[in-house]
């Protein structure tokens, strides 16, 4: 069969960044998706220091192929970091003390097809072996009826999709041995507000780390009092799902070691873009992405403060991470805020 070269703009931009970054970024192709006759690589990028005892921060996106803005936001941020690494001594210091990891296009087959699911028709955020503990919304929570319906989980007892296996290997290898790791996975398509979600998606039960998460939230709001446009909450506040990858890895990490691993999701409030420009609804793409150029540019810069905050707070986690007494205090405060 004749091989087709991809012309995916985000993948072209990612590969251009790799060329321009030189020694500042190391990269690995962690998997290649074969979508018909087109081979699409999943790139993982490393900046900073990969020494095992250092904290790790990951930025992931493109797990839902149609939510291209997440990938665009991350690629734009990587360009900012490459520029900073050349002249900013404080960031050069951070790079010696932090392991920074990016997977900007987890689902290149879905992006190529302009689809939420992967090239096999499976929703990668419903595909992990996790069952919701309470009733989920019909279809939205994940189902095994048919791949022609959205939110399809895949066949019962089938192994996880290849893209997820590649991501899991990176989380196991790079994150789980670290004493403190955080990752942020970027999505769009739900709600009017930008949300920072954390486990669980499967259950209304509190995660063991809600005290740390509340402390991270308070640290951000104290450091940036005029950037209060994020709503921090467990995903279960909005809806429950089967098969959430981050629930799966969060439980796996907690069962297998004592290190802290906090998976966060940035869910960009795309309904506000649609509200301001209802004509976007005419295209499937417009439900998930800002269309007008000025709004697109605004979204690209909107999250820089939070991303930079994550870099600094993860690198300097010793400075704010609570001891066990303090953590207990925060745990009960978090219970009051999110679960009662
Ligand atoms: Zn998504």
Going from the Cα of 68 to the center of ligand 1, the distance in angstroms, rounded, reads 10
CA 22 to ligand 1 center in whole angstroms: 31
Angle between helices 89-97 and 68-87 (to 10 degrees): 110
CA of 53 to the centre of ligand 1 (A): 32
Distance 329 CA to ligand 1 centre (A): 33
| Per-residue model confidence (pLDDT) at position 1 | 59
- Decide if pLDDT at 189 tops 90: no
Cβ atoms 94, 315 nearer than 8 A: yes
pLDDT value, residue 191: 86
Give 162's pLDDT tier (boundaries 50, 70, 90).
very high
Residue 121 belongs to some domain of the structure? yes
DSSP, res 4: B
Residue 154 alpha carbon to ligand 1 centre in Å: 17
Ligand 1 mean position to 116 CA, how many Å?
7
Is residue 85's pLDDT more than 90?
A: yes
User: Does 17 fall in a domain?
Assistant: yes
Ligand 1 centroid–CA 187 distance in Å is 4
Asked if residue 208 is part of any domain, the answer here is yes
Residue 141 is assigned to a structural domain of this protein = yes
Helix (H) or strand (E) holding 143: none
Summary mean pLDDT of the chain: 94
- If you measure from the C-alpha of residue 80 to the centroid of ligand 1, how many angstroms do you get, rounded to a whole number? 24
Q: Closest Cα partner for 75 from 146, 20, 154, 129?
A: 20
Check whether 158 has a pLDDT greater than 90. Answer: yes
Interval between CA 327 and ligand 1 midpoint (Å): 31
Confidence of residue 285 (pLDDT cuts 50, 70, 90): confident
Q: Which residues, 6 or more positions from 216, have their beta carbon under 8 angstroms from its beta carbon?
A: 262, 313
Tens of pLDDT along 124-150?
Answer: 999 999 999 999 999 999 999 999 999
CB atoms within 10 A of CB 218: 14
**Is 4 contained in some domain?**
no
Closest CA relative to residue 259, chosen from 175, 197, 170: 175
CATH number at residue 83: 3.40.630.10
Residue 2 maps to a domain: no
* Ligand 1 center to 186 CA (angstroms): 7
Predicted local distance difference test score (pLDDT) of residue 339: 95
Q: What global pTM score does this model have?
A: 0.96
Percent above pLDDT 90 for the chain:
84
* pLDDT over threshold 70, residue 286: yes
8 A C-beta contact, residue 264 and residue 198:
yes
Q: How far is the CA of 214 from the centre of ligand 1 (A)?
A: 24
Which of 19-33, 219-233, 264-278 is least confident? 264-278
- Check pLDDT > 80 for residue 57: yes
Query: 340 alpha carbon to ligand 1 midpoint, in Å?
Result: 27
Q: What is the pLDDT of residue 279?
A: 82
Count of domains forming the chain = 1
Whether 38 is covered by a domain: the verdict is yes
Q: How confident is the model at residue 261 (pLDDT cuts 50, 70, 90)?
A: very high
Measured in Å, residue 265 CA sits from the centre of ligand 1 at 9
Closest CA to 199 of 215, 214, 210: 210
- Tell me the DSSP string of 255-272: HH-SSEEEEEEEEE-THH
* CA 92 to centroid of ligand 1, rounded, Å: 32
Q: What pLDDT sits at residue 280? A: 76
What spacing in Å lies between the alpha carbon of 319 and ligand 1's midpoint? Answer: 33
| Cβ-based neighbours of 297, under 8 Å, separated by 6 or more | none
CA distance 142 to 123: 8
Residue 251 predicted with pLDDT over 70: yes
Does residue 73 or residue 285 have the better pLDDT? 73
State how far the Cα of 59 lies from the Cα of 103, in Å rounded to an integer. Answer: 7
H or E stretch including 202? Answer: none
What pLDDT, on a 0 to 100 scale, did the predictor assign at position 2?
66
Q: How far is the CA of 61 from the centre of ligand 1 (A)?
A: 9
Question: How far, in Å, is the centroid of ligand 1 from the Cα of 64?
Answer: 5
Domain that holds residue 41: 9-338
């Amino acid at each position: 069969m004749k091989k087709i070269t991809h012309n995916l703009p985000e993948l072209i931009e990612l590969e251009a960044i790799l060329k321009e970054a030189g020694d500042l970024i190391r990269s690995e192709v962690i998997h290649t998706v074969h979508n018909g006759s087109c081979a699409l690589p999943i790139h993982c990028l490393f900046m900073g220091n990969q020494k095992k005892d250092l904290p790790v921060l990951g930025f992931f996106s493109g797990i839902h192929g149609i939510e291209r803005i997440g990938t665009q936001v991350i690629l734009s941020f990587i360009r900012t970091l490459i520029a900073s690494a050349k002249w900013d001594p404080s960031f050069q210091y951070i790079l010696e003390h932090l392991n920074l990891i990016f997977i900007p296009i987890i689902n290149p087959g879905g992006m190529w097809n302009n689809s939420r699911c992967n090239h096999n028709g499976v929703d990668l955020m419903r595909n992990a072996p996790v069952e919701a503990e309470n009733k989920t919304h019909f279809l939205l929570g994940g189902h095994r009826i048919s791949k022609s319906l959205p939110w399809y989980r895949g066949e019962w007892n089938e192994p996880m999709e290849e893209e997820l296996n590649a991501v899991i290997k990176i989380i196991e290898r790079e994150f789980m041995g670290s004493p403190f790791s955080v990752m942020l996975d970027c999505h769009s398509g739900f709600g009017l507000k930008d949300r920072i979600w954390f486990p669980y998606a499967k259950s209304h039960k509190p995660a063991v780390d809600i005290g740390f998460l509340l402390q991270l939230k308070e640290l951000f709001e104290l450091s940036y009092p005029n950037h209060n446009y994020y709503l921090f909450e467990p995903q279960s506040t909005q809806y429950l799902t089967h098969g959430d990858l981050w629930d799966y890895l969060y439980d796996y990490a907690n069962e297998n070691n004592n290190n802290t691993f906090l998976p966060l999701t940035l869910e960009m409030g795309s309904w506000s873009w649609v509200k301001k420009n209802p004509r976007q609804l005419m295209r499937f793409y417009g439900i998930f992405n800002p269309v007008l150029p000025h709004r697109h540019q605004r979204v690209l810069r909107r999250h820089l403060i939070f991303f930079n905050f994550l870099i600094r707070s993860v690198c300097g986690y010793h400075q704010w991470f609570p001891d066990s007494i303090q953590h207990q205090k925060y745990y009960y405060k978090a219970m009051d805020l999110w679960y009662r």
